[in-house]
Structure 1
Amino acid sequence: MSFLIKFVFLLFCQLPCIHLFNLDTEYPIYKFGSPNSWFGFSVAAHFTSDGPSILVGAPKWTSGQPGTLKSGAVYACKPDSSNGNQCQLLSIEYPNLQEAKKPPNLLHGKHLHPEGKNGQLLGFSVYSSGMREEESSKALVCAPLLRWGQNAYTDGVCYLLGADLNHKGIINTCGPLPKKDRHNDYGSCEQGFSAFIDSNVTLTGIPGARKWTGGVFAKYDFVGSGGFVDSVDRRTMELDKNQGGVLALLASHDYLGYSVHYGRFGFSHEDEKNFTVVSGATRFNQTGAVIFLPFRRNFHAEEGPNLGLLDDHFILSGRQLGSGFGSSLAVLDLNNDGFDDLLVGAPFEYFYDEEENEKGGAVYIYFSKGIKLDKGQSSSNNLIFYSPIIIRGTTRHSHFGASLASIGNLNNDKNGFKGKIFFTTDFVVGAPYHSSGSGAVFVFHGNERAHFSTEPAQQIFANNLPNKPNFLKSFGFSLAKGVDLDGDGYAELIVGAPESNVVTIFRSKPVLEVKLNHQFEQKHVKISTSRSDWGDCALGPSCFSLSTSIFLFDRNLTALKQLNKLFGFGQSPFLCKLEVLPFARGVLPRALFTSNGETKISWPCGSNAVTREEISHQKLYIPVNWTNPLRFNFSISLRKPQLTTINNNNVLLPAISPDQTFHIFGIAFDKLCGDDNECHTNLVLSGALLDLSKRSDGLYQAKVTEKDVLILRLLVENRAERAYLAKLYLEYDETELDEPSVVKRGEFNLNEHKVDIEKRELGKALGFDLLFKLVRSSSERVSASLQFKVFVNSSSVEDFPKDNFWKSEVLLIKEADLQLDGGSRPPIVHFSRGNYAPKDEFDIGPQLIHAYTLTNKGPFYARNVTLKIDWPLRLDTSSPNSDWLLYILEEPLIRHNGQFRRCPIINTNLPSSKLINSLNIYNDATLKLDYYLSKSPYRQRKPRNLILINSTKEEEENLKLIRHGSILQLNSPLWPKWINEESGERVKVVDINCKDNSAHCVQLTCHFDYIGSNDSALIEIRARNNFARITTRAYPDRPQQEDHINLKRPQLELHQAHYAREREEMEESFGMGL
């Protein structure tokens, strides 16, 4: 991959950080619960006839009913800030409130377990429709661990509540589930583990049903033809696997129902009467999934009243094992196209960023394609959604995505992309264990998919909240759907922190709509070339006037009213600031204000901006001659009113739309290029690589051992009118070359004359040298050549663009001197006849270790090194009983850079199973090459128990060797030759080697990715020889020897002799110690 560097005049845009702080974090409202109650485990915004309330679940507290222990509780809290403990304990389990004052026995005519309400977790799930209208205002509260009757089955129950939180009924659908195999059939139903309700649809999740396969219950209320309210129920749990339904796809412990919601995404069955239920199955296939369940008001005959799967079983699957994909869901229309979009939380998904920092939690955003499938397209359900956009948490173990909530059009924005008018829906993501467990929430704004921003519009950290409890923990564990509680047109955010028993309410600031502009009467700023031409401008080559304007739209009356309450009529609520921006990093701004001699000026503004534009005039001057364009940032911010004003009026300071708080613009200068002020230039680029030889084909050539640096000389010449904003780009290989330095011509010292290449200007003609230092590390990539590509351009019109390019190639010659040394441990081996049928490695013969040292003497590194060894394996392969010359016991061991690894046997005619211990004999672990490398250096080798094999008479007959003039009787006889030993004695020897094919050899191959200069690697091969059918003649001075065989290998000699096992063990032990 090439690395692109911009030289000279890199334009950086000095934009303000855009964050719409629409949710007020200076004056949050806290609600406190009892210690250890899990107050805030679930939260919801609800409307009663008395006004808005916050419903809060505290599933570890007591309901107040006699005879119950920690049965759970639900509170209704007023959303105002008058009293943090202004919460009322609700009695919601019985139609008659008097029943709640008695010990529990019956509930809706059914007997309860004697301890059925203890620990039932009432308030585990709390949801409200959030509707202001009384007929549409509903709530749902669940206790997933309630038990009925005398059994130990966990059923769970949900309570339906009306607008005034009065008891309307219960939901308990687990009774009919099979219990033939007790809990192996039934599981632990847990009705209401998750819950949802709006004006028409009620949903409950049942993740423990059918041995934790899970399920969903759905209820749809509608007005029938007679004007009466009717309803239909659908459920997933009652069909067995052979009857279809969800069990055709799901298995035990998939947890369907962990989360529930519904929407209309574009599936063929959807219309105003029919919709699609979505539910998380967090352990499906161990990665989690979202299951789509079509809800049809008029069910098909074959389907019955069951909630089944889509025809093609379409689902959305998680991508990481144990990610918890589907733990949370939100359905909302992010881009206002009329089709619902889907958010899926995966709080346990982990990933590493570019800096290898581990991050945790993710939210998958599935935009609907906005296309309704036809009835016959049910097999095309995979076309409903675009590929997901993923937003991720910023810290480990934050559980980012554990909670999700739609909060409506939080900032009430009406202007979409490029002027398209549409309302968007925003959402909030909870990360309850962010910042070491204190928690955080992140606000994201809806938009069209192509322009959706994965950066949060606002971040709220529990640690930064004012007047918070001593240590706020698990902030963001629960979130309420956004509801406008105070009627100002903006939704409030409700956040639960159950580990601290706190609920926090954030009010939304009304948003002001502001228009900023500027006026400049001249065409461009004229620069005087001499002091005599300065005229009235005594401060510099040029003076000019500039006007700015501010205008407030009256579309949002709420925001304007609050502005008047805080500042009063005729006051200036804003602070305007005009700033001269530097053209590039490190370049001073070129203009100053005459009033203060600085590059910025500010003043109070906006007192009359509602009815007309408020215009301000400023005068500036240019202190010195310059060629850069002028850039300005005109910005506004709200001034902070007195604290007493906020407290007395109980109003919040409005916010300004983020894209309306600044106005960046530029003013052209006289380029001295004619009346049209348009410059036509002709930049000519040339280059050369210094001190390198050049071939006839124009390619440069460099020997790496002689050159540690490369000098690239570039010359840019302008042969026409001025070239403004000239830039030079250089593309080179960053894996072979360090980032270059600019040096003066003829100076190559890396520590001196370094110039920031991003600030170097191109004038009429400019030449400079770039010094590149070659990378010398194991991470570098082997390249046969280096490519240089250079390009120059400017903001002026280029008449001859062909000579704006230059490229060249340098052929690299890298030299490395590799040396191979070999040896044997021990150098001389005495051996006797081997065993015909060895079972233990000691039956074969003496051990020897071939050791090869591969050294790179430099001067450069070596890559992709291959060591090939011709190994004498057997005497003859035509017979299965042929003698083994060097029987390989284990894969070769490589020691390199303080580490050891095995060398797999590759590139041979035989598979590695036929080469390494092909007889599958017993290997002594203490003799293996890596035994002492993987154990403590002080561990002593234990004595071996020798295994003796008794040969049968038939085997002894097979071991008889025939003597017919040759020492060895083989298919191809090996004839001896006479040699003189050092003692002067003349003896017969037989040479067995790979060169003349006297032995059957195989090639062993070991590969090295990288061997640095002056680096070495040790390769060891452990083997034994087994001569089971060889007889030799005796020597007078060697009474136990009969003959002598020499296997000739470079620097390796082996001699055969007969000796006792005690001597063999001593020799082998000595060899292992080397």
Structure 2
Amino acid sequence: KPLGRGSGVGASLTRSFLCMVGLCFTLSQPVCQAFNLDVEQPLVYSGPEGSHFGYAVDFYLSEATSLVIGAPKANTTQSNVTEGGSVFYCPWSLNQTNCHPIEFDSNGDRMVLLNDTEHQADFKSHQWFGATVRSHGDTILACAPLYSWRTQQDNPRSDATGTCYLSVHNFSKFVEYAPCRNELSEPEGQGYCQGGFSADFTQFYVVFSGQVISAHKEDIIKAYYPGYFMQAVDGQLQTKQMEMGSYFGYAVATTDLNSDGMVDLLVGAPMLMVRDSDGRLEEMGRVYVYLQRGPMDLETPALKDFVEGLLSKWSCVSVVDVAISGPFGGEDHQGLVYIYNGFLDGLREKPSQVIKGQWATGTLPACFGFALRGASDLDLNGYPDLIVGAFGVDKAVLYRSRPIVNATASLTVYPTMINPDEKNCFITNGNASVPVSCHKQKQKGGERRALFFDSQQPSLQRNVRVRHGERVCNHTKIYLREEKDFRDKLSPIYVSLNFSLDPQAAADAHGLRPVLNYQTTNLIEQKTQILLDCGEDNICVPDLKLLVQGDRKEVFLGDDNSLTLTFNARNEGGGAYEAELYVVLPPEADYSGIARNNESLTQLTCSYDTENQTRYLSCDLGNPMKSGTNLWAGLRFKVPRLKDTHKTIQFEFQIRRVSRPDKVFFPPANWRPTKSYAVEQEVGPAVEHIYELLNNGPSQISSTLLELRCPLSVQGQQILYPLDFSTKGPINCTADKHMNHRHLKVKQSTNTNCDHTLITCNNIILNSVVTPLLWNKPETENWVPLWIIILAILAGLLLLALLIYVLYRLGFFKRSLPYGTAMEKAQLKPQAASEA
């Protein structure tokens, strides 16, 4: 749809590098699709409280644009009829949402004269008139599926046969059609047919109630005669009655899904039960899609199962392309409506839009989505709109469709290989190359390797105005930072283009803003690489070696024990980027600093850190550590915490390149092992290795085999869980063990390939990586169960009581005077006696 004046398209680029980025946009006329409902400005229609207003909805576009909404529990003016039900007429307007009832039937319960005696023939109270509402041209069909008909004249028994009324020629005439009603004199009735349980129009209309009944609209009108209960309809078709356990046919819609000129059929079975992963039956619901391949030739249906439980208990279908609702769906049961687009083979797998109900669940759920109707353009803007009923709150909501914009964009980057030593680059304009300045600005501490020239930032946003049929291109320059200002020189630099419509664009005449076609690819990525010191193929295959020696053979208890460890690091292969020495400190040792007493030793930059009770040292060996590098360096430590229970102390040295993650600490914080896992995150931290295969010639290789091996267990304990492996390109991989054997729910696609798990891939060259595994001190060692604490307290109290009893029996607690008996007092000196 043309954006119109004052509208625009915004372009946003992130994570970028280069000398030129070219952006081109084009707009084209979209097809009429319905994935663009405006959920921010809905029109809400309200009915009488408790009337179930919104139980059924439809458009009525005969003379004036309007809606018709069923309220099957509404009270009417019919004599002696309680909650007979009604249908409301709601003229469409942006400024008001008023509705008034349509009087299809003004009569109360009808009587019939049999053998000079009047008998009540039908029962209209609680008949749920308005439970089904459909319109077609100047005709409105409204049904009461719980309408009851007296089936035996000598027995006041009645059956819910159901009945329907047609409003003809814009309310100028009303006719009744009750296909399940038969003669009172017949010994048996039609049973619980519930005619009008669900209905829809094609060239004839179809009623589903476990039984299919169809008749031409004109034949129904012609057969009607006031005062007659039975109207024989010429050409009426019907199937045999069947059980309604799954409520097959509760919802029905007709539309041409695949644009082949034939009307297709969708049938809902909202009570269908399916087995969950534990084998238990659940009411999940199903929608059957019947494609009409020829006149009345319906193809075996395709099924739309909602196994996630979002379509719960009831389902409705409508044509929008297709809207499918789950009135009790969602985590808070506020109701959901899914919009699916049709294509050649039926419906697409994923919904293009999901609409959530806006009313909180109370004593009665709002049942948002219980009724749906679409496929009509209410505001005449060229796009179909949708009505959603929520009878639990007596509401009906109108969602209008916004204009759709089809936009395409392309992204070009130049050059695709960057030499950091070159200060200039060229922008190609036609056949000529124009040199431009590519500054290398100093900006320490930054994480981004490249910046946009215009914004001096790693991202750039521009507004681009594009009119229908135009092609607009933009160019911008990007520069690379100084090498010492960024660390990663090995991985490619990505330029990404993310474009969207201008949210401030002017609305159209209907107050609606346009939306991008959801099938539009609005994120485009291109990449470039930094030229490495790795030969003509720009592929670095380092060969790193490490030798460590100490200046002392023995250390002693009670001494400061200063210790210097000297190491020799060599690279006998290609350049090693982000190379570092990684040292794990034992509990007995502390890091003192770099050895500086020998001029032949290289002065390194090292950082000391602690993570999850593991202390480690990381020293930079060069970025890149070039081929042929041979360096000696020393690290000083103190060992003040020696224990006589250990005869040695052990330092762990590793020389390594980049690996993601750099290291894994296990077990992770706040993690407890369990015998039952459901999702990936419950197992432990993820470990991902990426291997890239390149063949730069000069000739092709007929067959190449790669074997990857990684341990699943350490010290008898499981340490790696093989989750998944993925490949890109002409690679065929197999594993000798089943990946994700517990069938865990995976958060995102990973490349984790690991007692040895063997993965064999054809046509691969390997760059090896290492992921160190650091063991934390398990928190469980310091954790004592509550029952042990309680038992220890009780045991202590019991021991104390026993000790007191033994002392008591030994006379420990018998009281005595300070100076003995009275005779002893007499023998004391006078001073002592007086004191006593």
Q: TM-score, normalised by structure 2?
A: 0.54
Matched residues in 2 for 1:613 and 1:442: separation? 35
Residue type of the partner of 2:251? S
Cα drift, residue 60 of structure 1 = 1.0
Matched residues in 2 for 1:169 and 1:81: separation? 33
Equivalent pairs counted in the alignment come to 555
Q: Deviations over 1:105-135 (max 9, x none)?
A: 4699999837722222211111123x4xxxx
Partner of 1:986: none
Structure 2 residue aligned with 1:797, among 695, 699, 707? 695
Partner of 1:637: 501
SS at match of 1:153: strand
Contact 1:47 1:163 in 2 (8 A): no
Uncovered stretches (5+) of structure 2, i.e. residues with no partner: 1-32, 220-232, 427-434, 484-488, 546-568, 588-611, 628-654, 678-686, 718-836
Q: 1:809 to 1:670 in 2, by over 3 A?
A: closer
Residue type of the partner of 1:529? D
Matched residues in 1 for 2:578 and 2:118: separation? 85
Q: 1:807 to 1:65 in 2, by over 3 A?
A: closer
Cα drift, residue 92 of structure 1 = 1.9
SS at match of 2:367: coil
- Establish whether residue 162 from structure 1 lines up as the match of residue 168 from structure 2: yes
Structure 1 residue aligned with 2:338, among 425, 439, 442? 442
Structure 2 residue aligned with 1:483, among 364, 368, 376? 376
- Establish whether residue 78 from structure 1 lines up as the match of residue 84 from structure 2: no
- Establish whether residue 651 from structure 1 lines up as the match of residue 511 from structure 2: yes
- Establish whether residue 328 from structure 1 lines up as the match of residue 275 from structure 2: no
Partner of 1:540: 440
Partner of 2:552: none
Matched residues in 1 for 2:572 and 2:204: separation? 73
Partner of 2:212: 216
Matched residues in 2 for 1:472 and 1:46: separation? 28
SS at match of 2:157: coil
Contact 1:326 1:345 in 2 (8 A): yes
Q: 1:195 to 1:372 in 2, by over 3 A?
A: closer
Contact 1:684 1:803 in 2 (8 A): no
Contact 1:362 1:400 in 2 (8 A): yes
Contact 1:30 1:502 in 2 (8 A): yes
Structure 2 residue aligned with 1:459, among 317, 336, 354? 354
Contact 1:205 1:217 in 2 (8 A): yes
Q: 1:598 to 1:811 in 2, by over 3 A?
A: closer
Partner of 1:65: 78
Q: 1:347 to 1:60 in 2, by over 3 A?
A: same
Cα drift, residue 179 of structure 1 = 9.1
Structure 1 residue aligned with 2:367, among 474, 485, 500? 474
Structure 2 counterparts to residues 222-233 of structure 1, below 5 A: 232-233=235-236
Contact 2:327 2:333 in 1 (8 A): no
Contact 1:530 1:541 in 2 (8 A): no
Partner of 2:61: 47
Residue type of the partner of 1:429? S
Matched residues in 2 for 1:451 and 1:147: separation? 39
Partner of 2:158: 153
Structure 2 residue aligned with 1:121, among 118, 122, 128? 128
Q: 1:743 to 1:432 in 2, by over 3 A?
A: farther
Q: Deviations over 1:251-282 (max 9, x none)?
A: xxx22xxxxxxxxxxxxxxxxxxxxxxxxxxx
Q: 1:630 to 1:491 in 2, by over 3 A?
A: same
Cα drift, residue 191 of structure 1 = 2.0
Partner of 1:194: 198
Cα drift, residue 526 of structure 1 = 3.1
Cα drift, residue 44 of structure 1 = 1.1
Matched residues in 1 for 2:675 and 2:362: separation? 51
Structure 1 residue aligned with 2:397, among 504, 509, 513? 504
- Establish whether residue 24 from structure 1 lines up as the match of residue 48 from structure 2: no
Partner of 2:464: 605
Cα drift, residue 433 of structure 1 = 5.6
Matched residues in 2 for 1:743 and 1:353: separation? 49
- Establish whether residue 172 from structure 1 lines up as the match of residue 168 from structure 2: no
Matched residues in 1 for 2:296 and 2:253: separation? 25
Contact 1:407 1:482 in 2 (8 A): yes
Cα drift, residue 173 of structure 1 = 2.7
Q: 1:717 to 1:33 in 2, by over 3 A?
A: farther
Partner of 2:305: 390
Contact 2:583 2:617 in 1 (8 A): no
Partner of 1:662: 522
Cα drift, residue 407 of structure 1 = 1.2
Q: 1:107 to 1:216 in 2, by over 3 A?
A: farther
Contact 1:203 1:218 in 2 (8 A): yes
SS at match of 2:181: coil
Contact 1:142 1:193 in 2 (8 A): yes
Matched residues in 2 for 1:73 and 1:541: separation? 75
Residue type of the partner of 1:217? I
Structure 2 residue aligned with 1:752, among 606, 614, 622? 614
Matched residues in 2 for 1:802 and 1:813: separation? 34
Cα drift, residue 194 of structure 1 = 1.9
Residue type of the partner of 1:346? P
Contact 2:252 2:265 in 1 (8 A): no
Q: 1:638 to 1:231 in 2, by over 3 A?
A: farther
Q: Deviations over 1:603-647 (max 9, x none)?
A: 3331x53363333343322113434233222413223257xx77x
Residue type of the partner of 2:315? A
Q: Which has the higher contact order (CA 8 A, sep 6+)?
A: 2
Contact 2:108 2:124 in 1 (8 A): no
Matched residues in 1 for 2:294 and 2:468: separation? 45
Structure 2 counterparts to residues 892-903 of structure 1, below 5 A: none
Structure 2 counterparts to residues 754-833 of structure 1, below 5 A: 767=656, 779=675, 793-794=691-692, 796-797=694-695, 802=704, 804-807=706-709
SS at match of 1:51: coil
Structure 2 counterparts to residues 357-436 of structure 1, below 5 A: 361-364=284-287, 366=289, 384-385=300-301, 388-393=303-308, 399=312, 401-408=314-321, 426-432=322-328, 434=330, 436=332
Contact 2:129 2:144 in 1 (8 A): yes
Contact 1:683 1:803 in 2 (8 A): no
Matched residues in 2 for 1:633 and 1:128: separation? 47
SS at match of 2:235: strand
Structure 2 residue aligned with 1:619, among 454, 457, 477? 477
Q: TM-score, normalised by structure 1?
A: 0.43
Cα drift, residue 56 of structure 1 = 1.0
Residue type of the partner of 2:300? I
Contact 1:439 1:462 in 2 (8 A): yes
SS at match of 1:77: strand
Identity fraction in percent = 19
Contact 2:73 2:86 in 1 (8 A): yes
Partner of 1:236: 239
Structure 2 counterparts to residues 182-331 of structure 1, below 5 A: 186-198=190-202, 200-206=203-209, 214-220=210-216, 232-237=235-240, 250=242, 254-255=243-244, 283=245, 288=246, 327-331=250-254
Matched residues in 2 for 1:435 and 1:780: separation? 24
Contact 2:341 2:347 in 1 (8 A): no
RMSD: 5.7
